[in-house]
Structure 1
Amino acid sequence: MKRLAFSISATLALTTSVWADGSDLLIIGNNDPGMLQRLTGTTDLESAETAFKERGAEVSLSTSADADAMRNAFRGFATGLDTTTVDIGVLLTGRFLSTIAGTYLLPDGMETPTLADVLTDGFPLDTVYAVAAEYPGQALIILGEVDGRSDLADGLSVTVPLNDIPQGVTVAIGPAGDAVRFVSRLSIATGEDVLPLARAEGLSLMGFVPRALPMFAGTDVTLPQITPDSPEDRSAEDAAAWNRAVSADTEAGYDTYLAAFPEGRFAGEARQRLATIRSEPFYREKQTETDLELSRDARREIQRDLSLLGYNTRGIDGIFGRGTRGAVTAWQNTNGLRASGYLDSDQIARLDAQAERRAAELEEEARQRQAQLERQDRTFWSETGAQGDEPGFRAYLKRFPDGIYAEEAQGRLDVIEDQRRAQAEGEDRRRWQIARETDTADSYRAYLAERPNGAFVEEARARIDYFINNSEQIALKERAQADEAALGLNAAARRLAEARLADLGLKPGAVDGTFDKDARRAIRRYQDARKLRVSGYLDQATVVRLMADTILR
């Protein structure tokens, strides 16, 4: 059940039934006076302290409580309980966050806690349960909630689980203002049954909920009497009203149901759903997207569309996490839509149309750039490699390592090298072979130092020049390899990528799912024409563009 987060925190504990000698009351207040005024009509907690003291209770008040203050205050209260205690009551109102280990009341001033902050400094609800469990049928716990931040760290939730309530313990839960008003009324009222007051303030009752819960009995003021239900069976009408409320699934719908059936069969659930709606500012938008039942593939397509339009979803995995929600929100802001972070069918259609148009624009830009690069390539070749000499081939490959004539230039150089190897004397060939096998700038420098007049001096200098001019590219290679591995592409996906590169005339070689040197060169050509990171390895941006290119063909 979804609950709200808050910015006030207060803790009250009520003990014994007649507010006489030996009664104890604990108040821990970490609240904003202005907010307390709006919620309860009072500016501080001293008025509650005074009212309880006038009833004969021993009151301990602590405000702006940090972690230690909350624990110390509760320790003092708990150690004061003894065999003379008849009834106990605890009110916790403030910001609650839940973890896998339980639910915690946050100390004053903790705005954006981490999981570690909550576990180490929060006040555990289980501690209250442990004490209350010693008084079955005589313990009342009141949980009041106040709205607060919803951008929580991993491992935290605003949900307050209510399935671990100890046997015989009654829990009343609702907004903090309602909870504080309930306790304020308790401070001046006496009677046989406190549950009507809780219901009158709109609190939901959980755990042990008897027909009556006689606590704090006395004669000063009589609690409101409940008119017995008509003997007429209204269960069918109740169910029909509930079905109408669920069908509407709006705040007004559940309010209408509660107005007609404040003690109805579904009253508790109605109040819980109201709390959920009020805690989620975009409840309707969220429900609308949920009703679409988007498949994992449909979500991936939405993420690809957003990525094409320049919105970073932090992955294309079909899971709508913070990255995707942030991207959707940014897209909605750009398009003048209600920025909820959730999509409806019309927005998905609009997003897809924009992405398809943008993909067409990007591909046209790529075609123009590719044509420009090819013109430059051919012009440069005519002045270098087309002359048919070694310097021309090397100059061309230095400028266009993946160019139109790269295979031809490299092949001609290989022939030249083979001829030199055949002509070179044995020691020169051996030293060159060592340098080639190591294939580092240092290995080629070592060759030049030992064989300054060797047959492979030009090749050695060219390789050294390559390492110097491509040091950044070489450094990025490992990261690019890791990015491609993270995509988890299977053989079918690799074949699809090769087929698309082949369709674009980029010569990836055999379409077999094996990314050999021809495929790597084709990927580099594709990336260069589209101003993507040129690595020869697939990354998320390259895959998004490849997918878009295919859609357009």
Structure 2
Amino acid sequence: MKRLALSTTMAMALTGPVWANSDLLIIGNGDPSLLQRLTRITDLSDVTAAFEARGAEVSLATTADAAGMRDALRSFMDGLDATTDDVGIVLTGQIVSTVAGSYLLPSDRTGPLTLSGVLTEGFALDAVYAVAAAYPGRALIVLGEVEIETDVAAGLSVSLPPSDIPQGVTVAIGPVETAGRFVSQLSDATGGDVLPVARAAGLSLLGYVPRELPLFQGTDVELPQIDETPETDDRSAADTAAWQEAAAADTEAAYETYLTAFPDGQNASDAQERLTAIQSEPFYREKQAEEDLALSRDARREIQRDLSLLGYNTRGIDGIFGRGTRGAVTAWQDENGQGASGYLTSDQIARLDAQAERRAAELEEEARERQAQLERQDRTFWSETGAQGDEAGFRAYLNRFPDGIYAEEAQGQLDAIEEQRRAQAEGEDRRRWQEARDTDTEAGYRAYLAERPNGAFVEEARARIEYFNNNSEQIAVQPQAQAEEAALGLNEAARRLTETRLDELGLKPGAVDGTFDEETRRAIRRYQDARKLRVSGYLDQATVVRLMADAILR
């Protein structure tokens, strides 16, 4: 019988890599069995053992609440000292960003996702950023994201701001299953450049991304020697050949054939993992083909923008292909006769991009025609109202075209009339009117009319009340619109680009200085109105998608 035998002597040894002076923090708030499946171990305590066997100090927390995550971080930090060479941090679960930073949510979170809940119950990524920043060029953070299926409240975003990552810290981010696969590979790594491994696994790299990042270098230790008897050689060769054939075919039948012949073979665990992956994914080949494209996060964002332009809702443009994006891809493939797998090929990406560019051109032409029509109506209405030079005409024009071509001129004339009345009004009337102007609410103006029915500013008060009545929908969405724009995290360069584009379109955004003042807000409203977008004066995802598409067409 052919067999493998362990040598009875320790005189001969095989050198193997062990991580020296490396510390790891693992917080798994995704699928509780994720690491078990992907590392092929049966108990989560073995996760720690798998890394500690290589000399690493590990702090582990799974399905943790806020307190559990903080305790794991505290234990991790207590183990760090001056001799620590490399630091690894693995976080899996739902990750949400706010203007104040990003957070890993507890595993027991339920109900609507609110800003207050995130801030009080979430685990701040800034904490692990701060720890990793103490090890510049020697710290790796792996983020495995779990898709958020509930609605995201105002002030929250599912995208991770790269600007928050400290200098010298490398972040590898992707879907939780991709991150899990990388962690599995990392636990088996022999040391060296980890970046190619992360890219091959399908993760996006953010922060400090040098040409090479050698981490967790191995030091030589003596391990027991495996003595292969001559009888083993033939079976080992057959095992290797059978595995090569199975891997080349990469089918369910091929892996089952291998496992039948070599149930305890040297590649049995890999064969079982691939077999499980094929059986759980009906479009396994399509998925593998897309992964082979190694799409960057920017490339994924571009695909999401293209789908959004074509009317497919990706539920965010964040470079992460979650359920929303997969659903949009599937719908696009179905309508284009491409085989609805939810995974893209390079040819499909090229076709999608071409369709989006053509659609962007069509939308811009429609916008130009609508803008021209609105301007004709604007000029005609002005000639019958504001052009007459009286207060009633100015008010009638602004009521119909609050952001019109002559809005600044009409408002300027009314401001002059109001200032003249202010000078002539008696003190108490002037004081009450100023209070109403300061609050600038419908209730405030109604209070003024009730107290001063014959006041000098009655017409102005009635005009403001009419404005609120005519623009109630736009006013109602402003708080949400403000929060959505804040969540975009636009820097000054992005704001200047927006103002430049609005100026090129002749929408008069004012100075191109990166500051969104009232002139800029008016220009944004004009842009949104001409393109039949939600008119708020604030940037949202749909507006940014169109602005970027319009800019490409220039």
> TM-score, normalised to structure 2's length?
0.57
Change (3 A) 1:231 1:356: closer
Change (3 A) 1:451 1:240: same
- Using the TM superposition, give the Cα deviation of residue 343 of structure 1 relative to its aligned residue in structure 2, in angstroms: 0.6
Question: Whose radius of gyration is greater, 1 or 2?
Answer: 1
Change (3 A) 1:250 1:483: same
- Using the TM superposition, give the Cα deviation of residue 256 of structure 1 relative to its aligned residue in structure 2, in angstroms: 5.6
Q: Which amino acid aligns with 1:331?
A: W
Distance 1:358 1:280 in 2: 33
1:452 aligns with 2:453: yes
- Using the TM superposition, give the Cα deviation of residue 381 of structure 1 relative to its aligned residue in structure 2, in angstroms: 0.3
Change (3 A) 1:456 1:285: same
Q: Which amino acid aligns with 2:513?
A: D
Q: Which amino acid aligns with 1:374?
A: E
User: RMSD between aligned alpha carbons?
Assistant: 3.1
> TM-score, normalised to structure 1's length?
0.58
Change (3 A) 1:250 1:383: same
Distance 1:443 1:361 in 2: 45
Q: Aligned residue for 1:421? A: 422
Change (3 A) 1:455 1:298: same
Q: Aligned residue for 1:368? A: 369
Q: Which amino acid aligns with 1:522?
A: A
Mapping 1:326-341, distance limit 5 Å: 326-341=327-342
- Using the TM superposition, give the Cα deviation of residue 261 of structure 1 relative to its aligned residue in structure 2, in angstroms: 5.0
- Using the TM superposition, give the Cα deviation of residue 501 of structure 1 relative to its aligned residue in structure 2, in angstroms: 0.9
- Using the TM superposition, give the Cα deviation of residue 365 of structure 1 relative to its aligned residue in structure 2, in angstroms: 0.6
- Which shows bigger deviation, 309-318 or 235-244? 235-244
Q: Aligned residue for 1:400? A: 401
Distance 1:287 1:156 in 2: 16
The DSSP-based 3-state class of the residue aligned with 1:551 is helix
Change (3 A) 1:100 1:156: farther
Q: Aligned residue for 2:519? A: 518
Q: Aligned residue for 2:313? A: 312
Q: Aligned residue for 1:190? A: none
Distance 1:545 1:152 in 2: 25
- Using the TM superposition, give the Cα deviation of residue 342 of structure 1 relative to its aligned residue in structure 2, in angstroms: 0.7
Superimposed CA distance per residue, residues 133-186 of structure 1 (whole angstroms, 9 cap, x where no aligned partner): xxxxxxxxxxxxxxxxxx9999999xx99x9xxxxxxxxxxxxxxxxxxxxxxx
Q: Which amino acid aligns with 1:349?
A: A
Q: Aligned residue for 2:217? A: none
Change (3 A) 1:232 1:413: closer
- Using the TM superposition, give the Cα deviation of residue 398 of structure 1 relative to its aligned residue in structure 2, in angstroms: 0.2
Q: Which amino acid aligns with 1:437?
A: D
Distance 2:433 2:423 in 1: 12
- Using the TM superposition, give the Cα deviation of residue 248 of structure 1 relative to its aligned residue in structure 2, in angstroms: 4.0
- Using the TM superposition, give the Cα deviation of residue 234 of structure 1 relative to its aligned residue in structure 2, in angstroms: 4.7
Unaligned runs of 5+ in 1: 1-98, 103-114, 117-150, 164-227
Q: Which amino acid aligns with 1:327?
A: A
Mapping 1:90-101, distance limit 5 Å: 100=62
Distance 2:512 2:285 in 1: 48
Q: Aligned residue for 1:499? A: 500
Unaligned runs of 5+ in 2: 1-60, 65-106, 109-146, 151-174, 184-228
Superimposed CA distance per residue, residues 226-273 of structure 1 (whole angstroms, 9 cap, x where no aligned partner): xx9956535345434434433443335435645765654223432332
Distance 1:152 1:510 in 2: 39
Distance 2:258 2:148 in 1: 32
Distance 1:425 1:275 in 2: 84
Change (3 A) 1:101 1:489: closer
Q: Aligned residue for 2:357? A: 356
Distance 1:380 1:312 in 2: 38
Distance 1:408 1:313 in 2: 42
Q: Which amino acid aligns with 1:485?
A: A
Superimposed CA distance per residue, residues 272-293 of structure 1 (whole angstroms, 9 cap, x where no aligned partner): 3223212211110111111111
Distance 2:398 2:435 in 1: 23
Q: Aligned residue for 2:536? A: 535
Q: Aligned residue for 2:23? A: none
Q: How many residues align?
A: 344
Q: Aligned residue for 1:279? A: 280
Q: Aligned residue for 2:234? A: 233
Q: Which structure's relative contact order is higher, taking Cα pairs within 8 Å and 6+ residues apart?
A: 2
1:390 aligns with 2:391: yes
- Which shows bigger deviation, 274-283 or 383-392? 274-283
- Using the TM superposition, give the Cα deviation of residue 404 of structure 1 relative to its aligned residue in structure 2, in angstroms: 0.4
Q: Which amino acid aligns with 1:270?
A: A
Q: Which amino acid aligns with 1:475?
A: A
Superimposed CA distance per residue, residues 101-148 of structure 1 (whole angstroms, 9 cap, x where no aligned partner): 69xxxxxxxxxxxx98xxxxxxxxxxxxxxxxxxxxxxxxxxxxxxxx
Distance 2:428 2:449 in 1: 13
Q: Aligned residue for 1:441? A: 442
Distance 2:505 2:299 in 1: 26
Distance 1:156 1:356 in 2: 32
Q: Which amino acid aligns with 1:275?
A: T
Q: Which amino acid aligns with 1:395?
A: A
- Using the TM superposition, give the Cα deviation of residue 497 of structure 1 relative to its aligned residue in structure 2, in angstroms: 1.1
Superimposed CA distance per residue, residues 463-519 of structure 1 (whole angstroms, 9 cap, x where no aligned partner): 121122222222211111111122222222111111111111111111122111001
Mapping 1:2-17, distance limit 5 Å: none
Change (3 A) 1:299 1:232: closer
The DSSP-based 3-state class of the residue aligned with 1:233 is helix
Distance 1:264 1:430 in 2: 90
Distance 1:153 1:439 in 2: 39
Change (3 A) 1:426 1:268: closer
Q: Which amino acid aligns with 2:519?
A: D
Q: Which amino acid aligns with 1:518?
A: E
Q: Aligned residue for 1:548? A: 549
Distance 2:422 2:393 in 1: 20
Q: Which amino acid aligns with 1:451?
A: R
- Using the TM superposition, give the Cα deviation of residue 361 of structure 1 relative to its aligned residue in structure 2, in angstroms: 0.8
Mapping 1:43-82, distance limit 5 Å: none
Q: Which amino acid aligns with 2:270?
A: E
Distance 2:350 2:176 in 1: 34
Distance 2:369 2:148 in 1: 46
Q: Which amino acid aligns with 1:250?
A: T
Q: Which amino acid aligns with 2:516?
A: F
Change (3 A) 1:265 1:414: same
Q: Which amino acid aligns with 1:400?
A: F
Change (3 A) 1:101 1:294: same
Q: Aligned residue for 1:45? A: none
Distance 2:449 2:345 in 1: 67
The DSSP-based 3-state class of the residue aligned with 2:481 is helix
Distance 1:394 1:381 in 2: 11
Distance 2:265 2:272 in 1: 11
